[in-house]
Structure 1
Amino acid sequence: MTNHEVEVWISSELDPGRSRWFEGPHAPDFALSPQPKLELTPPSPSTASTIIVKPDHTYQQMLGIGTSLEETTIHNLSKMDADQRAAIIRQLTDRENGIGFNLFRLTIGTSDFTAEPFYTYNDLEEGETDFEMKRFSIQKDIDLNIIATVQELQKGSPDTVFFASPWSPPAWMKTNGSLKRGSLKEGAEYTEALARYYRMAIQAYEQQGIPIYAMTLQNEPLLEIDYPSCYMSPARQKELAAALRREFEAHGMKTKLWIFDHNFHDAWDYIAPILNDEEGRTVVDGLALHDYEGSPAIMSELHAAYPDKPIYLTERALWGTAGADRMAQYFRNYACSYNSWVTMLDSEIGTHQWVGTPGPTMFVQDAVEPNRYWKTPEYDLLAQYARFVQPGAYRIESTYGSTDTVTNVAFRNPDGSLAAVVINQTDSEQPFRVLCEGKQFAAVLPARAVGTYVWRG
């Protein structure tokens, strides 16, 4: 790529979110398809939609983009031959020939997306307790190939970043004695025991050569439901964060603590009581949010209120060009990351224990022939971001555009390149131009497609 060229890749949607993707593969018009290079030219008048990009006006720095390695995905991977499993891992992490993910979400114990009976790392008989964690063990994660799969991913992508989330404390710590529903029992001894449990989980992974960059304190703390879950009030989460910080400091650990890990709609009411408290503000490193209710604009409000606390979009599944535009809105509202939820279900939509019916995942495995699998368009649509927005990139100023024509978000990469992800949600091709630093380029984006445009700043 010369200083006068713009490299272009395009992917298109096809039946986004439809169950037909569990039936077999289908070919979209564009699948991370390289296009002829465009030319940067002197500016000239144009009637096309115009995107103005200002690389010197920077916003948040990106930690990364990725997906989850929950037990459902690993269970399905484990049914494959080693070569097929390795091929999928390469496609997830390879920036040249794959999607280029660098950020993966792990679960501390089991989540609802698992083929196994629900478990934690300290499951006891009813009436028993273990405050000193003498019976703590991650052996189930070893037996279920979770550790081995993560290690295999690390070999091919040593700079990968992992963060972890728990769905429930051990049942003996909870008010109802169950991994489902309930809350953490009252009393400092339970707060401290849970902090010890989480510290030991992070240490156990580190002993396996898997460093955990950050952890959330409770997945969806306002949800009690019939899979691993635990209600946790803001006050209790602040107490847990403080106790966990003490545990980490006492053991020389650098893992960061992200609070909340739930929906935009409830973010203010949950986060403000923690960060408006002096101790809470001190022990918390970042904010984790999900997008199942509410508006991404809440993240801009939180950034203005707490500018020293980075924001991470830790869970959502998105489909089609509408999903690609939703991602653009995350980043335009200060999200430093995005993680998709669940990487591979099989053609029978298995195996999971969620209470609903999931939509199609990036990879779908044939339930009859486990070595056979296919990709959905979401793989390529996510790659339009992940392959070209490098870790450490900064979001830069760009005019958003319109859903009636094209929308976008733009970044400046550590290598000096600029990347604009442009989305066309309409049923017709859309011409547009980009004006940047005294130059312009003109392009036409096909209907229902996403284009990534990369050039030298």
Structure 2
Amino acid sequence: MRKTIYLTYLLSVFSLLPSYGGSNEKITVSGEISSVEVHSAAPLIIDTDTEYQKVIGFGGMNTKWQASTLSDNEITTLYGNGEGQLGYNVLRVRISPNGERDWKQIVGTVRKAKSLGATILATPWTPPVGLKNNHSIVQGELADTDGYAAYLKSFVRYMQNNGADIDVLSIQNEPDIDVKYESCQWSPAQIYDFVKKYGAELRAAGVKLMASEHSKFNHDFTDPLLQDEQVAANVDCIGGHIYGGGLVSYDLVAQKGKEYWMTEHYLNKAWKDKVLTSPEALRTENMAFAEELNNCMNLGFNVYIWWYLRRFYSMLGDGDGGSVRSEVTTRGYFLSHFAKYATGRIRVKATLPEGAPSGISATAYKNAEGDISVILVNSSANVMRGLKIALPFKAAKAVKVVTTSGTTPAETVKEMAQSKVKLAGGVDVDAYSVVTLLIKKP
């Protein structure tokens, strides 16, 4: 029997965790509260024998419509693993309906990202107009399925021939929505029929296949694919967005041995007409984003992909909304905690003590050597003092990595500040922060 080392801890009381959701959802701004200390004999328990999903990675979307594609320097900042770089490893790009004249614009970006180890997801917003029943890039439905399958294969071949291989191919972005930009509507039956008929040949082009990137991750669009053994063999990744819904576990995906991808989300209600409404609104939304990352991991997602990587509410500023173009934001650093310290690891059970205050969440991960990373999100105004942890071993050493939210788009109070810690003495978790503990097994 293993000996578990139980330690005591001291926590501060937290304000209620702000609500979070899609870009069209309101996030409540929490006020400051006075710090009240609470004592407990129970620790945060890490159980490495209880395993969940393997984490594939984190990243975001190339910036094609907004402006120019991401530069080499920006890609290096986002996907590099050196000092001051963020360590992301998944890049999403758009498949233009205009063919090679547009495809060539993303070749350099994809090449650079792949040189740094990135996995590339390619998503179409619409088929070419000649393949649709309304002959428009907006709305309508696919009329020529043979032509569309051929078009997708031609895109994959073009990118391969130009040294910019695509790893995962999606068949449609948000097939459910009614909008006035590039789009195409599909029913669950149409997605099922397309994957059944063309899935094998698309995968034979050298890619994994994804469906269906519903805006609210409606399982009605993907359950039929998974429940049919023949069709399930034609799809590798089940993807979707979480705008107003879909942030739930999906056991059927894991049961069928498929990958569970969250492929798009963003939060930008802290601004109105690109003007920040208040410092508190930004900080609250930053923390809602960090909490969303922990939630996605706790719900079993293998991959998390943000919307535009370069935008004033994203990972790099673009010069709008008080941001500085190409500079890393608080959100960029928050995502880096997960990219650097969860990617490639298996999530394990992390149990907060019964009655733990609101405003704190935790996930834990182990690597092949048995080392543990614990990612803590403190969404409150209070420092959590002397947090102790129950481990299945006595740590050889531990390092604390801290990022604290700023109150302007161009400010992060602490970026990825590292320090050695002694776990026996407890660990402080800063207010409005993401804290990662890197725990080395003997």
Length-normalised TM-score, structure 2: 0.74
Shift of residue 227, structure 1, vs aligned partner? 0.5
Deviations 1:203-261 (A, max 9, x none): 11111112222122111010131111111111111222133324236xx4331111121
Q: Does 1:330 align with 2:296?
A: yes
The 5 A counterparts of 1:399-410 are 399=352, 404-410=358-364
Q: Assess if the C-alpha contact under 8 Å between 2:55 and 2:344 holds in 1.
A: yes
User: Who is 1:59 aligned against?
Assistant: 52
Q: Assess if the C-alpha contact under 8 Å between 1:408 and 1:421 holds in 2.
A: yes
Shift of residue 312, structure 1, vs aligned partner? 0.7
User: Which one-letter code corresponds to 1:178 in the other structure?
Assistant: S
Cα gap change, 1:290 to 1:91, in 2 (>3 Å): closer
Q: Assess if the C-alpha contact under 8 Å between 1:195 and 1:243 holds in 2.
A: no
User: Who is 2:103 aligned against?
Assistant: 141
User: Which one-letter code corresponds to 2:157 in the other structure?
Assistant: Q
Q: Assess if the C-alpha contact under 8 Å between 1:421 and 1:452 holds in 2.
A: yes
Q: Does 1:199 align with 2:153?
A: yes
Task: Identify which of structures 1 and 2 has the higher relative contact order when contacts are C-alpha pairs closer than 8 Å and 6+ apart.
Answer: 1
Distance in 2 between residues matched to 1:377 and 1:437, nearest whole Å: 33
Q: Assess if the C-alpha contact under 8 Å between 1:332 and 1:409 holds in 2.
A: yes
**Structure 1 stretch 217-226 or stretch 426-435: which is displaced more?**
426-435
Q: Assess if the C-alpha contact under 8 Å between 1:403 and 1:425 holds in 2.
A: no
Given the alignment, which residue of 91, 94, 98 partners 1:104? Answer: 91
User: Who is 1:311 aligned against?
Assistant: 260
Distance in 1 between residues matched to 2:201 and 2:208, nearest whole Å: 12
The 5 A counterparts of 1:224-235 are 224-235=178-189
User: Who is 1:9 aligned against?
Assistant: none
User: Who is 2:18 aligned against?
Assistant: none
User: Who is 1:161 aligned against?
Assistant: 119
Shift of residue 106, structure 1, vs aligned partner? 1.2
Q: Does 1:274 align with 2:232?
A: no
User: Which one-letter code corresponds to 2:343 in the other structure?
Assistant: Q
Q: Assess if the C-alpha contact under 8 Å between 1:53 and 1:396 holds in 2.
A: yes
Q: Assess if the C-alpha contact under 8 Å between 2:191 and 2:221 holds in 1.
A: no
SS at match of 2:341: coil
Distance in 2 between residues matched to 1:55 and 1:149, nearest whole Å: 38
Cα gap change, 1:311 to 1:399, in 2 (>3 Å): farther
Given the alignment, which residue of 89, 99, 110 partners 2:76? Answer: 89
Cα gap change, 1:149 to 1:74, in 2 (>3 Å): farther
Given the alignment, which residue of 207, 210, 213 partners 1:261? Answer: 213
Distance in 2 between residues matched to 1:341 and 1:243, nearest whole Å: 30
Shift of residue 293, structure 1, vs aligned partner? 1.6
Cα gap change, 1:73 to 1:209, in 2 (>3 Å): farther
Shift of residue 273, structure 1, vs aligned partner? 2.4
Shift of residue 378, structure 1, vs aligned partner? 0.7
Cα gap change, 1:43 to 1:395, in 2 (>3 Å): closer
Distance in 1 between residues matched to 2:246 and 2:108, nearest whole Å: 38
User: Who is 2:140 aligned against?
Assistant: 182
Given the alignment, which residue of 291, 316, 320 partners 2:242? Answer: 291
Q: Assess if the C-alpha contact under 8 Å between 1:331 and 1:395 holds in 2.
A: no
User: Which one-letter code corresponds to 1:67 in the other structure?
Assistant: G
Give the total of aligned pairs. Answer: 358
The 5 A counterparts of 1:373-384 are 373-384=326-337
Cα gap change, 1:91 to 1:277, in 2 (>3 Å): closer
Q: Assess if the C-alpha contact under 8 Å between 1:74 and 1:149 holds in 2.
A: no
User: Who is 1:363 aligned against?
Assistant: 316
Shift of residue 181, structure 1, vs aligned partner? 1.0
Q: Assess if the C-alpha contact under 8 Å between 2:208 and 2:236 holds in 1.
A: yes
Q: Assess if the C-alpha contact under 8 Å between 1:72 and 1:342 holds in 2.
A: no
Gaps of 5+ in 1: 1-40, 79-84, 111-135, 346-358
Length-normalised TM-score, structure 1: 0.71
User: Who is 1:348 aligned against?
Assistant: none
SS at match of 2:302: strand
User: Who is 1:69 aligned against?
Assistant: 62
SS at match of 1:225: coil
Given the alignment, which residue of 99, 102, 110 partners 1:150? Answer: 110
User: Who is 1:117 aligned against?
Assistant: none
Distance in 2 between residues matched to 1:438 and 1:278, nearest whole Å: 42
Gaps of 5+ in 2: 12-41, 268-284, 395-423
Distance in 2 between residues matched to 1:91 and 1:371, nearest whole Å: 15
Cα RMSD after superposing both structures = 2.8
Q: Does 1:436 align with 2:410?
A: no
SS at match of 2:374: strand
Q: Does 1:454 align with 2:438?
A: yes
Q: Does 1:236 align with 2:229?
A: no
Cα gap change, 1:292 to 1:400, in 2 (>3 Å): farther
User: Which one-letter code corresponds to 1:55 in the other structure?
Assistant: T
Q: Assess if the C-alpha contact under 8 Å between 2:378 and 2:432 holds in 1.
A: yes
Shift of residue 88, structure 1, vs aligned partner? 5.2
Shift of residue 73, structure 1, vs aligned partner? 6.2
Distance in 2 between residues matched to 1:305 and 1:89, nearest whole Å: 33
Cα gap change, 1:294 to 1:441, in 2 (>3 Å): farther
Distance in 2 between residues matched to 1:373 and 1:277, nearest whole Å: 46
User: Who is 1:216 aligned against?
Assistant: 170
Q: Assess if the C-alpha contact under 8 Å between 1:400 and 1:407 holds in 2.
A: no
Shift of residue 43, structure 1, vs aligned partner? 3.2
Q: Assess if the C-alpha contact under 8 Å between 1:291 and 1:315 holds in 2.
A: yes
Distance in 1 between residues matched to 2:43 and 2:7, nearest whole Å: 12
User: Who is 1:423 aligned against?
Assistant: 377
Q: Assess if the C-alpha contact under 8 Å between 1:398 and 1:410 holds in 2.
A: no
User: Which one-letter code corresponds to 1:433 in the other structure?
Assistant: K
Cα gap change, 1:448 to 1:176, in 2 (>3 Å): same
User: Which one-letter code corresponds to 1:93 in the other structure?
Assistant: G
